[in-house]
Structure 1
Amino acid sequence: MAYKDASLTIEERVADLLPRMSIDEKVAQMRIFHANIGIEANDKGKLQLSERVIEKLKIGIAGIKNPGEHLSPLAAAKLNNELQEYIIKNNRWGIPALFVTESYNGVDAEGCTRFGRPITSAASFNPELVNRIWDVVGREARLRGMHMCHSPEADIVRDPRFGRMSEAFGEDTYLTTQMVVNAIKGVQGNYEGLGKGTHIGAVAKHFAGYGQVLGGSNFAAVEISQRTLIDEIYPPFEAAIKDAKTLGIMASHGDLNGIASHGNPELLTGVLRDQWNFDGYVVSDSNDIARLYYFMKVAETPEAAALMGLVAGIDIDLYAEDSYAYLPEMVKKDPSIEKMIDRSVKRVLRTKMILGLFENPYVDIKKVKNGVRSEQALNLALEADLESIILLKNDGNTLPLQKESLKKIALLGPLVNEGTQKAFESVLNDGMSVTALQGFKLTDENNSVPKLVTTDAAVLDNMVQTAADADVAILFLGGDEFTAKEAYFNNALGDRATIEPLGAQDELVRKVKALGKPLIVVLQHRRTLSINTIAEKADAILDGWDLSEFGDTAVAKIVFGDVSPSGKLPVTVPRSIGQLPFHYSMKEINKKKGYLFLEDGPLYPFGHGLSYGDFEYSDVQLSKNSLTPTSEIQVNATVTNNGKMTAKEVVQLYIKDEIGSVTRPDKELKGFEKIELAPGESKSVTFRITPEMLEFTGLAMEKVLEAGDYTVTVGTSSAVGVTAKFRLEK
C-alpha cells in the first residue's frame, strides 16, 4: 500500500491512506484520551490495559496523553513500545498513535531533568539558553516514547492574580516571541529532529488571549481590543508558526470578545490558516469542544457543539466523550460533514508521518539510560538557574557575602526545603555552620483548594531566635505550587484576589530585621508578588521565581559570589493590586495620574536586575538620524564594567513612537543582548532598527508605517538607559 512507502511524499501517502478508512476510523484519528483511564504497567512491568482502553484502540486513535508518566524513563520507554505495538497491530491500517506530554519544569514525567519554569528562564533574557533547555526536553521526551508536547505557552501574562502565570514567558510581546521560537526550535530539534526520532513536536498554546482572563480568574471572559490582539497577542503565535514551524496549536479555554475560542472560525481558520498558512493540527484544550454546549452555552446541543468546533477548525478533541464521538452518527444525517473530517484527519496523519512514526514507531531502549538526566542536562539546569536569578536589591553591597567573615548562617522560611541546607554547605568553607529551619508552611497543601494555615507565635519566636544566634539570616519567602496553580474545571482553585505574600512572611521579615543583622531574602514564587515590606526591610533580595532541582545550589553560589547574578525581570512588579493592569509598555496616557496614598510607578520595573558588576552605558550613537521604508539604522552603545568582578549584563533596546495616529505604547522592547565583561572591560553593542519594527495597526485596522519622531533607549532596564532620537521619513 502506497501510504507505507516512505519514498513517496507525505501528501501522496496521506492521499492513499485516507480513502481506505471508515468514518469511525477517521474520527478515531481526531481524538486523544488520557492514559489514566486504563494504561499501566503490571507487577512485572508489562503493559496492562483496561477494557475501556481496549475498546477504544480497536479502530486506532490520534493520541494518548501521558502514558507512563509515573514510571522511570526506561520503564516508560518499554511500556510505550508495548503500547505502540499493540495499537499498530490492533487497527486495520497499522496507524501509530501520538503519545503526548507537557513541559513546565522540563518533561512532566518521572525521572526527567527538572528545569526551572518558563517564566524563570525568560528572566535569563538568553534565547540560546532557552533553546538548549528545550532541546533537552525534546530529547528526553522522545526517549520515553513521547511524540508531542502541549507546550510551550505563547500567551502574554500580565495579571499576577492568574494562577498559571509561571507557565508562560512574561508580559512582553518581543521577549515572549524570542523565547517561544527558541523553545519550539529546541524541542523539535530545529524541525530536523522530528523525522530522525530524536525530538518531539510542539503545540503552542493557548490561541488566543488566554493569559488575559478578566480578574485573573481561570475560565473567565477575555476582552481584548482587535488592535491589541494584532500588535501584542498574536505575534508570538505567528512566529511559532512561521519561524519555528510548530507542529500544533492549542485553542484557548476562554472566549475572545464574546466568541468562544473553540467555536471561532475567524480565529482558528481565518487567522491561523488563511493569514498565516498554518498546516499543522489544532487541538482542543481539555474537553473544551463539549463545553461549548454545557459551559460556554453557545451551542444548543452536544452535537451542535461538535459541529461548531469542526467548522471552526479544531482537528483533535482532547479527552471528551461527548463531542467528536458523535461525529460518525452526525455524518449519517449530514454526509457533507465528512469533508471537514477528512481535512482534519489529513493534518493528523501528516503529523505522524513528519515524525516518522510509520517507519520508526518505537524507542531504542539502549539509548534511554544515557540519554535522560545526562551530566550535560543536569549541568544545564544549574547553568540556567545561575543566569535566571535576579538581584532586585543590594543595599550597601550586602551581597555577595564574604565567607571568611562568617561562621554561622541561618536559612529560614516556608520555602526552605529538604535540600537547602546541604546545597549551602556544598559551597561554604570548612568551619562554617548552617542552620535550616522552615518554621511554617503557607497552606495545608491541599491540591484542589488549599487553605491558609495560622502560624503560632512560638514558631516565629523560635525562627527569630535562630536568626539572632547567626551572623546573617537568609529568608526563603514567596509562594509555592499550592499558592499559584491552574484552577481546574471542577473543584480546584489556583487564582488569587490579592498578590501580597501570604501568611506570616512579612511579620517574620519585620522581626528578623529588628535584630539589626544583615537580612537577605530569597524569593521563590510562581506569580508576581507585591513585596512592599520585603523591599523596605531586606538589605538584599534575590528573585529566583521557580528554579530547577539545583535552585538552592544556584542561590548559594550567587549569595557567596561564585557567580554574579544576571537575570532581569520578565514582568513589572506593582506596588499594589490596585494598579492592575500594569505593565511597562502600557500607553503613555495610562501613566498621567497616580493614586491617592500610593507612590507612583512600579516597585520594580520590567527588565530590572542588578549585578555584582558595575555597568556604565555611554556613547549611544545612531548610524544616521533618519529612516526610510527601505533602509535601516544601526544603534551603538558602549557598556563598561567598572566593577571588580566579571559579570553578565542584558543590554536592552527600547523604542518609543512619539506621535501616532492612534495612542501608542509608552515604549516597546525591540532588542536585547546578553554580554559578559571582565572588570574594566568595555564593549560596543550594536542593534539594527528596521522599518518592520515600527509597524503597528492603524486607524483602518491595517498595518501602517507612519512618518514621525522616535526615541531610542539603550539601557539596563525599561526605566534606566541612554537615549537618542531619529525620524522616520516617508
Structure 2
Amino acid sequence: MKKLLFTFLITTGTILFSCQKSEAQSKDYKDARLSVEERVEALLPNLSLEEKVSQMRIFHANIGVEADEKGSLKLSDRVVKKLKLGIAGIKNPAEHMDALAAAKFNNELQKYIIEHNRWGIPALFVTESYNGVDAEGCTKFGRPIASAASFNPELVNRIWDVVGKEARLRGMHMCHSPEADLVRDPRFGRMSEAFGEDTYLTTQMVTNAIKGVQGDYEGLGKGTHIGAVAKHFAGYGQVLGGTNFAAIEISDRTLIDEIYPPFEAAVKDAKSLGIMASHGDLNGIASHGNPQLLTGTLRDDWGFKGYVVSDANDIGRLHYFMKVAETPEAAAQMGLEAGVDIDLYAEDAYALLPEMVKKNPEIEKLIDRSVRRVLRTKFILGLFDNPYIDIAEVEKGVRAQSSLELAKESDLESIILLKNENNTLPLNKNKKTKIALLGPLVKENTTEMFKSVVGKNIQFVSEKGFHLTDEKGGNPKLLDKDPKAIAKMVEIAKNSDLTILFLGGDEFTSKEAFFTNAIGDRATIDPVGAQDELIEKIKAIGKPVIVVLKHRRTLSINTISEQADAILDTWDLSEFGDQSTAKIIFGEVSPSGKLPVTVPRSIGQLPFHYSMKEINYKKGYLFMEDGPIYPFGYGLSYVNFEYSNINISNSEITPDSVIEVSIKVTNTGAIKAKEVVQMYIKDEIGSVTRPDKELKGFDKIELNPGESQTVSFKITPKMLKFTGLNMEKILEAGSYTVKVGSSSENYLETTFKLKK
C-alpha cells in the first residue's frame, strides 16, 4: 500500500512538475525580452503533432473567410475546424475590401485565430505584389518589368517601401513577391511579373524590392513593413516552349552563373524572410523534392534562415503531376526532406503528416525543423507582441499623396522611346491640333488623362474600335476581325491632324496559365488581331502616327516599327499610366527608360537575349535580317548624349585589386534629360564558352543642356568570376574588353588584362 501511495505521489508530482514546466514554457515564449530563438524553443515543445503540422500549412481565404452583410467576420465550418489547431497563414484575406475595411476585418480575423488555438499563435496573412499590393484600395504601380525599364534601383526601393507599408496597414504580413526569375522567353505569360532577361539588372531590382518591402529588415519587427518571399527557386522562367508547368532545361553552369545570383543576393544581401520553390525541375529533379537545391545550396551554402513555401499544391504534385513520388505520402516526405517548410493550399500533402509520423516517428524531427522556421518568422514580424493594426493609421498611410506621386514618377522614368523619326515627338501643346486616340488599348479614361496634361489648344477624338479577345477568364478567345471598326478609326484619323495608336496586348493576351483550364502562354509573339492592318491603313493616310505600346510580354513589332513615326514602349504602367504617357508625348519630361529585354524579329530566333554566347551569333536565318528589332538596354531621348574620353585606371587587374573605368557624357540637346550609362564586360578567351557580353554596372544620371559628367564604374575581381571546367567558381587570367555606352549595342570600349 505504501509502495502504491509512493508511486501515486511520484506520478502526481511528475504531472504537477510537467504542468508547471509547460506553464513556464507558455509564459517564456510570450516574454519579449527573450531572443527570437529562445522564444521559438520555449513554444515548440508545447505543441501537439497536429498543432505543429498546422503551422506548416497555408489555405486561401476563398474557402470560407468572408464578411457578412455588416462587414463582420464570417467563417465556414471548414475554416473553423482548421483554425482550432492554429495555422501558418491565410492567403489574401479581405483582398476585395478597401484598406480601412480590410484592416478592421483582418484584426477581427487575427483575434479569432489567436483566441481559438491553445497557444494563441497568430497567423501570417499573405498577399502578392505585381502592380503594388494585390488588393483593393492600394496604390497601383507599374508591373515589375516596367519598373525595371527605369534602370533605377533606388526608385524601385521606394516603390516597394510603399508596398510594404500599405500591405502592413491592411493587416498583411508576407508577400509572395518579388520574382527573382529571369524572363527570356516572351511566349511565357508571366513575363511582366519579373524584372527582365539580365542577371545583373534583376539582381539590383530584386534586392532593392526586398529591402523596400521589408523596410530594410528593421521594418518587420516595428510592424511597419511585411516580409518578402522571393520566387520561384529556381529557373522557373526558363520553361520549355514558354509554357507554364513545362520542364526546365538549364545547364548547371548557366544555373550557377546566371539564374542563381538574384536569389543568392535576395538571401545574403536583402535578407528575404521567405523563398518559394519552383514548379519546375532541374536536371530532372523536381524543385520541390530537391534537397541539394532547397537545403544544400539555399541553406548550407548561402545561409538562408527563413522558410521555404511551396508553390500552390506543388508538394502533392510530386506524386500526381511530376510523378517522382509513388504515393501522396511519399510526396509529402520528399518535400519535407528537401526543405519545403510550408504547404500552400493542398489537402493531399502535409495534411497527411500526422498519420505518417505514427508509422515513422523520425519524421517529426523534420517537422520540428520546419515549424521552428515558421514560428521564427512570426516572432521576427512581432506578431506575438503586436498582432493588430492601428486603425487610425490606415487612411493616412494608404494611397497617401506621396505614394500616388511616386507612381507617376516611376511611370515617367520607365517609358521607353523606341523610335522618333524626324523628331515627331515631343508634340507642341500650344499649337492648335486635333489628335485621334485610337486602338484596342485605349481605356475609358485615356482621353481624360490626356486632357489633364494639355490646354485648350488640343482637341481629342477617342475610339477603341475593337477588343483583342472576348476577355473571358481562363481561356480567352481571339475575336474575328471587325472591318467596320477599322474603317471607323481610319475615318477618324483622316479628319485629325495626327493619330496616337494604342497597340500591343493586355491582361488577357499575357497572363498566368493556372493548373486547370486557364491558358496564358502563346505560341507566337506577333501582336494579336488586326493591329498590324490597323496601323498600315492609318499610316497610308499620310499623317503622323505615334504608337503607344502597352503589353505584358515582348512582342515582335516588325510592322509597327516600320510604319510608326514614333513609338513609346510603356509596358504596363501605374493607374496614372496614360497621363504619364501624355506628359512624355507633350515634352514635359524627356523619356529615359531602357529596354530590360531584347526585342526579337521573330519567335524563330528564340532563345534570344543579348548575353548569349558569342558563337550563337555566327549565323543568321534565311530571308530575315540579323539581330533584334531593338537591343537590350536600348532607349532614345529627346536630346543627344555624346559619349567620349573612355579611360581605364589600370590596364591590369589582379585577384586582389580593383580598377576603374570612366567615360565623359555630354547632353548636347536643349533640355534637361536623364540617361542610363551602361557598362558591359566581355571575356575574350575562356576555358569554357563565354557570353558575348555581360552587364556589370549602370548609372542613371541627369544633365542640363550642354552639361557634361564623368561617370565611373569599379571593376572588381568578383565581376570576372565564372564557373570553370571543374564546376567551381574561378578567376581566369586573360584579356577583357569593357564597353560603356547607351545600350548593349552602342558603346565605346577599352581593354584590360587579368593577371594572377
TM, length-normalised to structure 1: 1.00
> Which of 211, 225, 231 is 2:257 aligned to?
231
> Tell me, what secondary structure is at the counterpart of 1:463?
helix
Output the CA distance in 1 between the equivalents of 2:310 and 2:671.
50
Q: Which amino acid aligns with 2:538?
A: V
Q: Which amino acid aligns with 2:524?
A: T
> How far is the alpha carbon of 1:406 from its aligned partner?
3.8
Q: Would the aligned equivalents of 2:429 and 2:457 in 1 still touch at CA under 8 Å?
A: no
1:461 aligns with 2:470: no
Output the CA distance in 2 between the equivalents of 1:376 and 1:558.
21
Aligned match of 2:283: 257
Q: Would the aligned equivalents of 1:156 and 1:172 in 2 still touch at CA under 8 Å?
A: yes
Aligned match of 1:23: 49
Output the CA distance in 1 between the equivalents of 2:72 and 2:358.
40
Q: Would the aligned equivalents of 2:191 and 2:552 in 1 still touch at CA under 8 Å?
A: yes
Q: Which amino acid aligns with 2:592?
A: S
Q: Which amino acid aligns with 1:495?
A: D
1:150 aligns with 2:195: no
Q: Would the aligned equivalents of 2:431 and 2:458 in 1 still touch at CA under 8 Å?
A: no
Q: Would the aligned equivalents of 1:613 and 1:642 in 2 still touch at CA under 8 Å?
A: yes
> Which of 209, 222, 226 is 1:200 aligned to?
226
Aligned match of 2:583: 557
**Larger mean Cα displacement after TM superposition, 350-359 or 255-264:** 255-264
Q: Would the aligned equivalents of 2:431 and 2:457 in 1 still touch at CA under 8 Å?
A: no
Aligned match of 1:181: 207
Alignment of 1:397-436 (within 5 A): 397-436=423-462
Aligned match of 1:79: 105
Aligned match of 1:622: 648
> Tell me, what secondary structure is at the counterpart of 1:218?
coil
Superposed CA offset, 1:333-360 (max 9, x none)? 1000000000000000000000000000
Aligned match of 1:720: 746
> Tell me, what secondary structure is at the counterpart of 2:417?
strand
Q: Would the aligned equivalents of 2:236 and 2:279 in 1 still touch at CA under 8 Å?
A: yes
> Tell me, what secondary structure is at the counterpart of 1:335?
coil
Output the CA distance in 2 between the equivalents of 1:45 and 1:450.
34
Output the CA distance in 1 between the equivalents of 2:499 and 2:65.
49
Aligned match of 1:5: 31
Output the CA distance in 2 between the equivalents of 1:254 and 1:365.
41
> How far is the alpha carbon of 1:402 from its aligned partner?
1.4
> Tell me, what secondary structure is at the counterpart of 1:511?
helix
Aligned match of 2:120: 94
Aligned match of 2:498: 472
Output the CA distance in 2 between the equivalents of 1:191 and 1:96.
20
Aligned match of 2:144: 118
> Tell me, what secondary structure is at the counterpart of 1:84?
helix
1:536 aligns with 2:562: yes
Aligned match of 1:589: 615
Superposed CA offset, 1:582-601 (max 9, x none)? 00000000000000001000
Tell me which structure has the larger Cα radius of gyration. 2
> How far is the alpha carbon of 1:454 from its aligned partner?
1.4
Aligned match of 2:17: none
Output the CA distance in 2 between the equivalents of 1:12 and 1:373.
38
Output the CA distance in 1 between the equivalents of 2:612 and 2:433.
48
Output the CA distance in 2 between the equivalents of 1:156 and 1:105.
18
Percent of matched pairs sharing the same residue: 75
> Which of 520, 531, 534 is 1:494 aligned to?
520
Output the CA distance in 2 between the equivalents of 1:118 and 1:106.
9
> Tell me, what secondary structure is at the counterpart of 1:404?
coil
Output the CA distance in 2 between the equivalents of 1:506 and 1:369.
46
1:447 aligns with 2:473: yes
Aligned match of 2:698: 672
**Larger mean Cα displacement after TM superposition, 665-674 or 455-464:** 455-464
Q: Would the aligned equivalents of 2:432 and 2:457 in 1 still touch at CA under 8 Å?
A: no
Q: Would the aligned equivalents of 1:117 and 1:167 in 2 still touch at CA under 8 Å?
A: yes
Superposed CA offset, 1:40-77 (max 9, x none)? 11111111101000000001000000000000101100
Superposed CA offset, 1:140-169 (max 9, x none)? 000000000000000000000000000000
> How far is the alpha carbon of 1:458 from its aligned partner?
1.4
Superposed CA offset, 1:186-241 (max 9, x none)? 00000000000000000000000000000000000001000000000000000000
**Larger mean Cα displacement after TM superposition, 425-434 or 1-10:** 425-434
1:210 aligns with 2:222: no
Superposed CA offset, 1:619-659 (max 9, x none)? 00001110011111111100000011110000000000000
Q: Which amino acid aligns with 2:415?
A: I
Q: Which amino acid aligns with 2:572?
A: D
Output the CA distance in 1 between the equivalents of 2:683 and 2:325.
44
Which residues of structure 2 form unaligned runs of 5+? 1-26
Superposed CA offset, 1:370-423 (max 9, x none)? 110000000000000000000000011110011233421100000000110001
Q: Which amino acid aligns with 2:303?
A: N
Alignment of 1:268-287 (within 5 A): 268-287=294-313
CA RMSD of aligned residues (A): 0.5
Aligned match of 1:365: 391
Aligned match of 1:374: 400
Output the CA distance in 2 between the equivalents of 1:652 and 1:99.
40
Output the CA distance in 2 between the equivalents of 1:696 and 1:268.
22
> Tell me, what secondary structure is at the counterpart of 2:402?
helix
Output the CA distance in 1 between the equivalents of 2:127 and 2:681.
39
Q: Which amino acid aligns with 2:30?
A: K
Output the CA distance in 2 between the equivalents of 1:190 and 1:432.
46
> How far is the alpha carbon of 1:431 from its aligned partner?
3.3
Output the CA distance in 1 between the equivalents of 2:288 and 2:151.
33
Alignment: residue pair count: 730
Aligned match of 2:11: none
Q: Would the aligned equivalents of 2:167 and 2:226 in 1 still touch at CA under 8 Å?
A: yes
> How far is the alpha carbon of 1:455 from its aligned partner?
2.5
Output the CA distance in 2 between the equivalents of 1:406 and 1:169.
40
Aligned match of 1:566: 592
Q: Which amino acid aligns with 1:529?
A: L
> Tell me, what secondary structure is at the counterpart of 1:177?
helix
Superposed CA offset, 1:575-622 (max 9, x none)? 000000000000000000000001000100000000012100000000
1:68 aligns with 2:91: no
TM, length-normalised to structure 2: 0.96
Aligned match of 2:70: 44
1:657 aligns with 2:683: yes
> Tell me, what secondary structure is at the counterpart of 1:185?
helix
Q: Would the aligned equivalents of 1:406 and 1:471 in 2 still touch at CA under 8 Å?
A: no
1:128 aligns with 2:149: no
Structure 1 segments (4+ residues) deviating >6 Å: none
> Which of 526, 534, 537 is 1:511 aligned to?
537
1:575 aligns with 2:601: yes
1:386 aligns with 2:412: yes
Q: Which amino acid aligns with 1:638?
A: K
Q: Which amino acid aligns with 1:463?
A: M
Aligned match of 1:109: 135
Aligned match of 2:4: none
Output the CA distance in 2 between the equivalents of 1:459 and 1:227.
52
Output the CA distance in 2 between the equivalents of 1:289 and 1:699.
35
Output the CA distance in 2 between the equivalents of 1:213 and 1:697.
23
Superposed CA offset, 1:245-273 (max 9, x none)? 00000000111121111111111011001
